[in-house]
Amino acid sequence: MIRVQVPLPGRAYDVWVGARAAERLADVLPEGVRRVALVTQAGVPDLVALDRPVVRCEVGDGERHKTLATVEELCRAFARGGLTRGDCVVAVGGGLVTDVGGFAAASYHRGIAVVHVPTTLLGMIDAAIGGKTGVNLPEGKNLVGAYWQPAAVLCDTELLSALPPREWRSGCGEMAKYHFLTGDDLMALPLDERIARCVEIKASIVVDDEREAEGRALLNYGHTLAHALETAGRYDLRHGEAVGIGLVYAAEVAHRLGRIDAARVEEHRAVVASYDLPRSLPVGTDPDELITLMGRDKKALGAVTFVLDGPRGLEIVRGVERGELAAALEALR
């Protein structure tokens, strides 16, 4: 078992990575918890038995359920189940579950404890780590939410053995992003160490910039186009697949701005390909629509904002011209 600490001042917590990590749940619940609200989905197995009352709350499958209405339903279920300020939410599932479960925990009684038990690769290396919770609006992804750090995260790698191939690739999109954040050859590591290393990378960035004043935005590398593709809602793309396309797109934009050379763009394509991720736009994309949606991205401050590669590594770049954005989209057809 590998233990990675997220050492936030006054809110430090452990991430446990390894086979049967979920069995530690009873041990990581905060002291004094009398009731647990288990937020999960149909088909997710009951991983452990708890020696206290459990209120089971199921959320629907798919991004259409990542809404304020779902958070309201959860909070009402917490109230009906008698949860108090001293109780705990346990979110067991993929990124959607930890996002909505964490946001509901942050909102109920103005904040109760939450423990995440991610069941997907994407959840283990990204969604469940770092305290960002939230839901979508029709106008864009993750536009409403809160920063709410968990009490613990349990990454049980045995759960990944039954993960469908596309869900595995979805996690690989975030893993490819970490490659460009650090240059690490993550694929050379055993699975447990690979996941733990991704957690370490994210934790180091979160500790330096918990609320995304600047540095934490680097974790959005590849996400500007990815979120636009997801918001458009017409393309059969998992999140990590959209991120793979977004990583190549960000490289194309950086190349057109003179920040990187053509060889670095090809390196992006090669790394994304090595994770078995798409590198081209889906058929039928509307460039004008995608550029408009990119302008609504949550890190945009009055202009289209990107995380782009360059001579000093990844940096935030604001005010990219529409013509450059359109040309880079054309390169991905």
Selecting among 110, 139, 211, 312, the annotated active-site residue is: 110
Catalytic residue from among 66, 116, 132, 268: 132
Strand-pair category, 315-318 with 132-137: unpaired
To 10 degrees, what angle do helices 239-256 and 262-274 make? Answer: 170
Q: How many Å separate Cα 51 from the centre of its chain? A: 31
Annotated catalytic residue: which of 169, 179, 227, 256? 227
Q: Is 223 a catalytic residue?
A: yes
Give the whole-angstrom CA distance, residue 24 versus residue 290. Answer: 44
Residue 174 carries which side chain, given as an amino acid letter?
E
Backbone dihedral region for residue 183 (phi beyond 0: left; psi -120 to 50: alpha; all else: beta): left
Q: Which of 66, 73, 220, 230 is catalytic?
A: 220
Q: Catalytic one among 179, 216, 238, 256?
A: 216
Task: From the candidates 177, 179, 238, 239, give the one annotated as an active-site residue.
Answer: 239
Q: Is 268 a catalytic residue?
A: no
What tokens were used for 166?
A: 């596309």
Q: What is the distance between the alpha carbons of residues 126 and 138, in angstroms, rounded to a whole number?
A: 23
Which residue in 210, 212, 241, 252 is the catalytic one? 212
- Which residues, in sequence order, are bridge partners of residue 147? 132
**What does the alpha-carbon distance between residue 146 and residue 142 come to, in Å, rounded to a whole number?**
10
Residues in the chain: 333
Q: What are phi and psi of 157, to 5 degrees?
A: -70, -15
Tell me whether residue 174 is one of the annotated catalytic residues: yes
How many whole angstroms separate alpha carbon 157 and alpha carbon 198?
14
Does residue 239 have an active-site annotation?
yes
Least Cα distance to 292 among 280, 282, 304 occurs for 304
Q: What is d(CA 56, CA 37) in angstroms, rounded to the nearest whole number?
A: 6
What is the token pair recorded at 282?
A: 């889906």
Q: Which of 116, 177, 202, 238 is catalytic?
A: 202
Task: Verify whether residue 141 is a known catalytic residue.
Answer: no
Of 141, 194, 223, 298, the catalytic one is 223
Spell out the residues 6+ positions from residue 301 whose beta carbon is closer than 8 angstroms to its own: 318
* Catalytic residue numbers, as ranges: 110, 132, 174, 202, 212, 216, 220, 223, 227, 239
